[in-house]
């Protein structure tokens, strides 16, 4: 029943794409965080992550057999700690060419684009979003991203956007 509620207003093509997903990759800042960073004289100190997004990672693994990973242009101890806690399959930091990294990951796990979902929020995610079999962005993503993705979450980055996308995939696979 819960799956029907989640999928009620979702385009059937998106549901079909979601059924093929084996790996959900995400940007960090602006998707898993609210884009805020706390700095002190020592540099970056804190980033805020949503516990609900973390539950989305666990639910994807348990209920849909989907693994997850982060690809980010930043290098951050906070992101590393979060990835370790969630036992993510992949963490790639300091990435300038995200598409090349996604293709490398696809090859590593014998996946094609239709098996990969990606959620991003800004212009450095455009090429990966176009490549992925299923793409999404948070509701507060920049307009250039909103115009090209398959799905725009109800939630903002750092406030459950990843979880929204995860639940769409879980529901589609278990429909």
Average pLDDT of each block of 10 consecutive residues along the chain (175 residues)? 62 95 97 87 82 97 98 94 97 98 98 98 98 98 98 97 97 91
Q: At what angle do helices 51-64 and 77-86 cross, to 10 degrees?
A: 40
pTM score above 0.75: yes
**Contact yes or no for 1/146 (Cβ under 8 A):** no
Nearest in space to 146 (alpha carbons), one of 163, 113, 121: 121
Beta bridge pairs of residue 46: 38
Q: What is the DSSP string of 62-94?
A: HHH--EEEEE-SS--HHHHHHHHHHT-SEEE-S
Topology adopted by domain 20-165 = Rossmann fold (3.40.50)
Q: Residue 10 has what pLDDT? A: 84
């Amino acid at each position: 029943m819960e799956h029907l509620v989640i999928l009620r207003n979702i385009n059937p093509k998106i549901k079909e794409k979601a059924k093929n997903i084996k790996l959900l990759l995400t940007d960090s800042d602006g998707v898993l965080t609210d884009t805020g960073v706390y700095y002190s004289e020592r540099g970056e100190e804190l980033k805020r992550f949503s516990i609900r997004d973390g539950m989305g990672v666990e639910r994807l693994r348990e209920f849909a057999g989907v693994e997850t990973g982060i690809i980010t242009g930043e290098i951050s101890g906070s992101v590393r700690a979060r990835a370790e806690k969630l036992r993510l399959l992949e963490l790639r930091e300091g990435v300038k060419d995200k598409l090349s990294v996604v293709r490398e990951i696809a090859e590593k796990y014998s996946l094609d684009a239709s098996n990969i979902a990606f959620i991003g929020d800004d212009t450095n995610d455009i090429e990966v979003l176009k490549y992925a079999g299923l793409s999404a962005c948070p509701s507060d993503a920049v307009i250039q991203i909103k115009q090209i993705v398959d799905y725009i979450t109800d939630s903002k980055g750092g406030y459950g956007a990843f979880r929204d996308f995860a639940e769409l995939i879980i529901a589609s696979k278990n429909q």
